[in-house]
Amino acid sequence: MLLLVDENVSPIIADALRAAGHDVRAATLVCPGAPDEELVLLAIAEGRIIISEDKDFGDLVFTGGQRPPGIVRMVLPGSLPAQKAARLVEALQQERAIDDMLVIEPARVRRRRLP
């Protein structure tokens, strides 16, 4: 899976995604400090699913009209980066993220179809 990891996501999580076989680009390396709108455009241009802990990407997509291939938002309060990484890798093995917004929580994954 082609993924674009937002700056608010720990490098531990990006490394775990790579180790699981995903093609991962990190915003901290390719576009540090870029606004979310630019990250969405990069995801669209490269066909990458955005991984973030920020709800702003959903707001941008559902109100702004820009549509990346998918968005995965982690909502795992109190979890350490290694725990978040394990939960994310597990969820991506079980869930399809293309054309959807996934919200990964400790006990469930919510899905919303992108417009």
pLDDT of 63 above 90: no
In which band, very low, low, confident or very high, does the pLDDT at 58 lie, cut at 50, 70 and 90?
confident
Model confidence, pTM: 0.94
Taking the C-alpha atoms of residue 4 and residue 30, their distance in angstroms, rounded to an integer, is 10
Q: Determine the pLDDT at residue 59.
A: 83
Taking the C-alpha atoms of residue 22 and residue 32, their distance in angstroms, rounded to an integer, is 21
pLDDT of 93 above 80: yes
HEC assignment per residue over 47-80? CCEEEECCCHHHHHHHHHCCCCCCEEEECCCCCC
Q: Is 115 or 9 the better-scoring residue by pLDDT?
A: 9
pLDDT of 64 above 80: no
Q: Determine the pLDDT at residue 89.
A: 96
Q: Structural domains in the chain?
A: 2-113 (3.40.50)
For residue 49, the tally of other CB atoms under 10 A from its CB is 23
Q: Determine the pLDDT at residue 76.
A: 97
Taking the C-alpha atoms of residue 76 and residue 83, their distance in angstroms, rounded to an integer, is 9
Question: Taking a C-beta distance cutoff of 8 angstroms, is the pair 4, 72 a contact?
Answer: no
According to DSSP, the residues that pair with 26 across neighbouring strands are: 5
